[in-house]
Amino acid sequence: MCSCGEAEQDTAHILRDCRNHQVLREEIWPFPESLHNKLYGPVAALQRTTNYISRSGLEV
Ligand SMILES: [Zn+2]
């Protein structure tokens, strides 16, 4: 279970929905970005994802 208490802590939840990380998510993706691009590139999109996970403090 995710620490937000709302869902399972899976990849899609963390990258797309989790309210615990909403501020960081809006900073890193101030534009719409598909879950597919967040996970599978291009490189600039993957670097954003890496930055997000790193700054979120989550253990991966
Ligand atoms: Zn959550």
Residue pLDDT, tens place only, 12-55? 999 999 999 999 999 999 999 999 999 999 999 999 999 999 99
Residue 16 DSSP class: I
The rounded distance, in Å, linking the Cα atoms of 24 and 45 is 15
The rounded distance, in Å, linking the Cα atoms of 54 and 46 is 12
The rounded distance, in Å, linking the Cα atoms of 31 and 2 is 25
pLDDT score recorded for residue 27 = 98
pLDDT score recorded for residue 57 = 93
What residue spans define the domains of the chain? 11-56
Ligand 1 centroid to 42 CA: how many Å? Answer: 26
Whether 60 shows a pLDDT value over 80: the answer reads no
Ligand 1 centroid to 1 CA: how many Å? Answer: 8
Ligand 1 centroid to 2 CA: how many Å? Answer: 5
